[in-house]
Amino acid sequence: MPDGQADLLAEPAGDRVDGLGERPLSVTVRQRGQRDFSRLHALADRLSWSVDDRLAPGERELVRGVEFDSPPSAFLRFLRRMAKDRGVRLNGRATTGSVWVRPTLSLAEKQLREMFPARYPG
Protein backbone atom coordinates (compact mmCIF):
# COMPACT_ATOMS: atom_id res chain seq x y z
CA MET A 1 0.00 0.00 0.00
CA PRO A 2 1.31 3.49 -0.80
CA ASP A 3 2.68 5.61 2.03
CA GLY A 4 0.54 8.44 3.35
CA GLN A 5 -2.76 6.84 2.45
CA ALA A 6 -4.86 5.94 5.45
CA ASP A 7 -8.44 5.44 6.53
CA LEU A 8 -9.78 6.30 9.95
CA LEU A 9 -12.01 3.79 11.68
CA ALA A 10 -14.00 5.00 14.68
CA GLU A 11 -15.74 2.43 16.86
CA PRO A 12 -17.28 2.55 20.34
CA ALA A 13 -14.64 1.86 23.02
CA GLY A 14 -16.33 -0.82 25.11
CA ASP A 15 -19.26 -0.22 27.44
CA ARG A 16 -17.90 2.95 29.09
CA VAL A 17 -20.07 6.07 29.06
CA ASP A 18 -18.68 9.58 29.55
CA GLY A 19 -20.26 12.39 31.60
CA LEU A 20 -22.53 13.41 28.71
CA GLY A 21 -24.02 9.93 28.37
CA GLU A 22 -22.11 9.18 25.18
CA ARG A 23 -19.71 6.36 24.49
CA PRO A 24 -16.11 7.39 23.81
CA LEU A 25 -14.73 6.39 20.44
CA SER A 26 -11.68 4.27 19.80
CA VAL A 27 -9.88 5.63 16.75
CA THR A 28 -7.74 3.36 14.58
CA VAL A 29 -5.74 4.41 11.53
CA ARG A 30 -5.31 1.72 8.92
CA GLN A 31 -3.51 1.77 5.59
CA ARG A 32 -5.77 1.46 2.54
CA GLY A 33 -5.49 1.73 -1.20
CA GLN A 34 -7.62 4.87 -1.63
CA ARG A 35 -7.69 8.22 0.08
CA ASP A 36 -11.10 8.40 1.69
CA PHE A 37 -11.20 10.82 4.59
CA SER A 38 -14.98 11.07 4.83
CA ARG A 39 -14.99 9.19 8.15
CA LEU A 40 -12.33 11.51 9.54
CA HIS A 41 -14.39 14.55 8.54
CA ALA A 42 -17.54 13.02 10.04
CA LEU A 43 -15.70 12.37 13.31
CA ALA A 44 -14.25 15.89 13.35
CA ASP A 45 -17.70 17.38 12.77
CA ARG A 46 -19.12 15.32 15.61
CA LEU A 47 -16.35 16.36 18.00
CA SER A 48 -16.19 20.01 16.95
CA TRP A 49 -16.95 22.72 19.45
CA SER A 50 -18.71 25.66 17.89
CA VAL A 51 -17.59 29.05 19.13
CA ASP A 52 -20.53 30.60 17.27
CA ASP A 53 -22.97 28.66 19.47
CA ARG A 54 -21.27 30.02 22.60
CA LEU A 55 -21.36 33.58 21.22
CA ALA A 56 -25.05 33.53 20.25
CA PRO A 57 -27.25 36.17 21.92
CA GLY A 58 -28.36 35.50 25.47
CA GLU A 59 -26.74 35.02 28.85
CA ARG A 60 -25.35 31.59 29.63
CA GLU A 61 -23.06 29.76 32.00
CA LEU A 62 -20.27 27.63 30.53
CA VAL A 63 -19.15 25.02 33.06
CA ARG A 64 -15.52 23.97 33.46
CA GLY A 65 -15.08 20.26 32.79
CA VAL A 66 -18.16 20.14 30.55
CA GLU A 67 -17.62 22.87 27.94
CA PHE A 68 -13.95 23.67 28.57
CA ASP A 69 -10.99 22.40 30.58
CA SER A 70 -8.67 25.41 30.81
CA PRO A 71 -8.68 27.89 33.71
CA PRO A 72 -11.86 30.02 33.52
CA SER A 73 -9.95 33.31 33.17
CA ALA A 74 -7.94 31.96 30.21
CA PHE A 75 -11.10 30.60 28.59
CA LEU A 76 -12.82 33.97 29.01
CA ARG A 77 -9.87 35.71 27.30
CA PHE A 78 -10.14 33.19 24.44
CA LEU A 79 -13.89 33.84 24.07
CA ARG A 80 -13.37 37.61 24.12
CA ARG A 81 -10.83 37.32 21.32
CA MET A 82 -13.17 35.11 19.26
CA ALA A 83 -16.04 37.55 19.90
CA LYS A 84 -13.91 40.51 18.81
CA ASP A 85 -12.98 38.70 15.58
CA ARG A 86 -16.70 38.21 14.89
CA GLY A 87 -17.70 41.81 15.70
CA VAL A 88 -19.44 40.88 18.96
CA ARG A 89 -18.87 42.44 22.37
CA LEU A 90 -18.65 39.87 25.13
CA ASN A 91 -19.73 40.79 28.64
CA GLY A 92 -18.53 38.05 30.91
CA ARG A 93 -16.96 37.05 34.19
CA ALA A 94 -14.95 34.07 35.30
CA THR A 95 -15.84 32.27 38.53
CA THR A 96 -14.13 29.32 40.18
CA GLY A 97 -15.79 26.60 38.13
CA SER A 98 -17.47 28.40 35.25
CA VAL A 99 -17.64 31.40 32.96
CA TRP A 100 -20.74 33.57 32.60
CA VAL A 101 -21.08 35.25 29.20
CA ARG A 102 -23.56 37.66 27.63
CA PRO A 103 -22.66 38.50 24.01
CA THR A 104 -23.97 41.80 22.62
CA LEU A 105 -23.59 43.65 19.33
CA SER A 106 -22.33 47.21 19.17
CA LEU A 107 -24.66 49.79 17.60
CA ALA A 108 -22.48 50.00 14.48
CA GLU A 109 -22.46 46.20 14.13
CA LYS A 110 -26.26 46.07 14.52
CA GLN A 111 -26.69 48.65 11.76
CA LEU A 112 -24.28 46.79 9.47
CA ARG A 113 -26.18 43.55 9.95
CA GLU A 114 -29.51 45.28 9.28
CA MET A 115 -28.17 46.90 6.09
CA PHE A 116 -26.64 43.67 4.73
CA PRO A 117 -28.76 40.72 5.95
CA ALA A 118 -27.45 38.43 3.20
CA ARG A 119 -23.91 38.81 4.55
CA TYR A 120 -24.97 37.95 8.12
CA PRO A 121 -27.51 35.10 8.00
CA GLY A 122 -29.23 34.05 11.21
Residues 9-53 pLDDT 10s: 555 555 554 555 555 555 555 555 567 777 777 777 776 677 777
What's residue 99's pLDDT? Answer: 93
Helix (H) or strand (E) holding 38: helix 38-47
Highest mean pLDDT: which range of 68-72, 83-87, 110-114: 68-72
What's residue 1's pLDDT? Answer: 43
Q: What is the DSSP letter of 23?
A: P
What's residue 84's pLDDT? Answer: 87
Is residue 66 classed as helix, strand or coil in its secondary structure? coil
How would residue 61 be classed by pLDDT, with cut points 50, 70 and 90? very high
**Phi, psi (degrees; rounded to nearest 5) at 114:** -75, -35
What's residue 74's pLDDT? Answer: 92
What's residue 32's pLDDT? Answer: 53
How would residue 108 be classed by pLDDT, with cut points 50, 70 and 90? confident
Q: Which of 18-32, 55-69, 80-94 has the lowest mean pLDDT?
A: 18-32
- Residue of 102 and 50 predicted with greater confidence: 102
**Phi, psi (degrees; rounded to nearest 5) at 102:** -145, 90
